[in-house]
Amino acid sequence: MGTGCTKLNYKHLVEVSNPNLQPNDRTNTPNNSRSLPQADYAKSRTTSFKKKKSMSKDKDFSSYIEASAAEIDPYATKTSEDKDMILTALNSHFIFTSLTEEDKEMVAESMQLYLFETGAIVFEQEMPARSYYVLRTGLLEVFVNGKSVNKIKPGEGFGELALLHDNPRSATVKCSAPSGLWGVERQTFRKVIEEMNTQIYEQNREFIEKVTLLQPLNPRQKDSLAASLVIYKYYSGQKIITEGETGQQLFIIKEGIVSVQRGSQEIARLHSGGYFGEMALLNNAPRSATCVAVDGPVKCLVLSRETLQKNLSNQLQDIIEKNTIMEAINKSETLSLLNKHQKELICKDIDHRVYKGGDVVIPQSTLCKLKLYIVISGRLQYARTSHTFADKGTCVGDQYITQVNPEDVKYEDDMIAASDMKVGELTKYKFEVSIGGKYEDVVKENAATNILRKVFLFKTLDSSQMKELFSIINTEKFSDGEVILQEKSQSQHIFIVKRGKVDIMRGDVIIRTVTKHDYFGERGILFESAASATCRANGNVTLWVINNNDFINILNENMRKQLLHRIRMEDERAELEDLAIIRQIGRGMFAKVYLVHPRDSKNLYALKVVERRVIEKFAIQEQLLLEKHILNLCDHPFIVKLIRTYKDYKRIYFLLEYVHGMQLSEILMKIGLFTNSDTQFYLGSLILALQYLHERDIIYRDLKPENIMINDTGFIKLIDFGTAKIIPSRTYTLVGTPHYMAPEVIVGKGYNKNADLWSLGVCMYECLCGRVPFGNEETDCYRVYEEVLEKEIDWPDDIDPVSETAKNFIEQLLSKYAESRAGGSIDNLKKHEWFTGYDWDNLINEAVIPPYTPNLGEKTEDLQNNAGHVYMWDAPLDNESEEEESLPDISDTELEAYKKSIPENWDEGF
């Protein structure tokens, strides 16, 4: 990727695992053969990288301040003409097209007035960008390499790429006359957009909770709609909808009052939180009334039919009815124990019956065990007393149809419809067909196959072994701080976390944190040795507990290998002074990575080293702590493992699992286009890794072939967690590599874990087409962002056609609507037609044959060929005195304020 696409926010390190391939460079590749001219491609990438380096050395950024020749008028007020001028300028650039009118107004309001004299320079070519400007008065001249190329007149905006990052300016802008410019800095712009959209999102989310029509939606669907709501403003007397027209939108009143009129008569007034337009939207029928804004401006949150379909993937009516049934099932003490697939089959198989008010739904003396009823809409009541028997979203008869030998209990009164209502009905026979057998047997099997299979240790067990496992497993609960297993005590059990977190500690230091479906205590299964650490409950914890003697009976060779591998890494006791450096294997913005081995061992590890002077200069303490915390949470076969951390007075260190292999980007260069089955292997592996991370609220944020290692057995390892973050809902920081960034990341309005799925789609396209889908021929980030935001997917005609199912899957992942990428969940991604028949269990068990296995020789060759090892304390590390690259993506004032907020003992956990 050219010189314009390598800068990131200074807090977010992009690590390089292979020093010969820089992760942010991307150039064009030939696509007419699986065999690419590797030398030419590598040369092109190297040339691009050298341009970037030379530019950094030629210019001194340290003393440069953009617009330093200007006088800022702190008291300048914007006239209505000024605001119109700014808004017109904003509307002319693609960066602002996704902003709402309120966003643009807030940006305009935040702009300050810069006053320049004739001859003054606004900014210089190749110097870091800082602000976006709109010329108010005067005249500006644009120079490229000293040559005049253009003039900027009042009302024109320029420098908009500065609002995304600090890439070098492509031209010099000079004042030809005294000039006034409205300007906004990048940090101010992004802060305004973040604060505005956070507030709007939270308000929208709160409003959705109040709309009774949308209450049956689950939290994920509500989050999706909250992010998709559009705000419209109407003035007094303005018609919002008109009686008789076709309805395409649902309106929720945010501010003001709306008069509902039929003919010339007002029939209702709606206030904040009220809604209208839903019936026409649901039934595709003409509007039954006219709605008019009254008493000043009215702001409405609007959901279109298209938005609902894209976000909910179905008609609103169907979604609401299905979710109502699901709500009832999940509230049931017995039905809630069924797995997701069985619940969905009940939804699919249940008969929908419509009753009018007064109709008998359940006749008196009917046996309760014969049928399951679910109230989808309306209310069920006793015929004699009219008291409510069951409300909407409630199951009736569930406790009887799930019993093995239920008593012949009967309904003692007619149960009638209180008003027009809809009821789902399922006989006991059809219920057992739907769930796949007798309820009691099905629930037991669910616990064995659907829950315990999520524990990677048990992936290789067959169905009969799973049933045996379920028969020997017990459940125990522990309170916050309670010791589950004491260091140096003899463990008689293996523990699996069903709910909560467990801290693994040596002394007072937390080595790692075990979370849902992870395990500990395995040492007692393989060795007659004491526990190597104390295991303590972090909050309330529920565990599955298995006696070692029972577990030995189902232990197979694959499980034994997995346990031994993990124990070996956990048992690594080498101190920093015991580590010998073999060679440097990677370098990033802030860190270097070395291949190391303990003095008395042939085990190889990767040691990531960050100097304290760099940490303090760029204030990346918080990011390093977060990276350590995230890696401590991860224990997955497709994710690199953290062994331990160290510190001394000069540096912070991460000792990591060494991946003896190649980057996926290298394999793409070596092989060329991947086949459909090759791509399924790599995409499937990445989906499993992302599913693991997303279940723990971890967003990766820089998924690309350079961060995907293929080890010496051909399986993937996701590396470099310097940009990862734990987010329960949304985040705003511009982070990642431009060609792989989702649209919502670029525009700064907030994004969630679905941004990773966009990057996944880019990777899939690259595997099958040999290029990235957006900005492949661009080296200017501005152009890359423009294509990501505006361009549709092109399918190259110089390669073999991509299958229609693969195209459909890529188009889903690269949907501009973030919530539609997963199709509801990552489990649904795995069920996509493109993956039909794919064996996910064999993939996670590494029981499939990989498409490509790197031939790199044995790991021990590194030890044999590097006899003159140095130890960490014997000499300075390579190039340690070199000045790190400057990343001025934050003002000096903000950086100093951030530094002051960092506690002195921030590194206590290392």
Rounded to whole angstroms, the Cα distance separating 834 from 908 reads: 48
> 135, 152 in Cβ contact below 8 A?
yes
Choosing from 503, 702, 780, 862, the catalytic residue is 702
Judge whether 381 and 418 are in contact, CB under 8 Å.
yes
775 CB burial (10 A radius; 0-12, 13-18, 19+): buried
Q: What is 527-588 written as a DSSP string?
A: -S-B-SSEEEEEEEEEEEEEEHHHHHTT--HHHHHHHHHHHHHHT----GGGEEEEEEEEE-
CB 657, CB 606: distance < 8 Å: yes
Q: Cα-flanking dihedrals φ and ψ of residue 378, to 5°?
A: 85, -155
DSSP, collapsed to helix, strand or coil, labels residue 123 as strand
702 carries an active-site annotation = yes
Contacts of 848 by beta carbon, 8 Å cutoff, 6+ apart:
681, 839, 842
Cα–Cα dist 150/141, whole Å: 6
322 is in an annotated binding site: no
Cβ 163 vs Cβ 189: under 8 Å: yes
Q: In terms of Cα–Cα distance, which of 782, 624, 771, 621 is closest to 15?
A: 624
* C-alpha–C-alpha distance, residues 730 and 193, integer Å: 14
Burial of 837 (0-12, 13-18, 19+ CB in 10 A): exposed
- Which contiguous run of DSSP H or E holds residue 296? strand 290-304
Write a three-state SS string for 125-137.
CCCECCEEEEEEE
- CA–CA dist 298, 469 (Å, integer): 61
Q: From CA 272, how far away is CA 322, in angstroms rounded?
A: 28
The residue type at 13: L
Give Cα separations from 876 to 12, 595, 871 (angstroms): 25, 16, 10
- CA–CA gap between residue 781 and residue 24 (Å, rounded): 11
Strands (E), 165-243: 172-175, 179-185, 230-234, 239-241
Binding residue ranges: 608
Catalytic center residues: 702
Binding residue ranges for ATP: 608
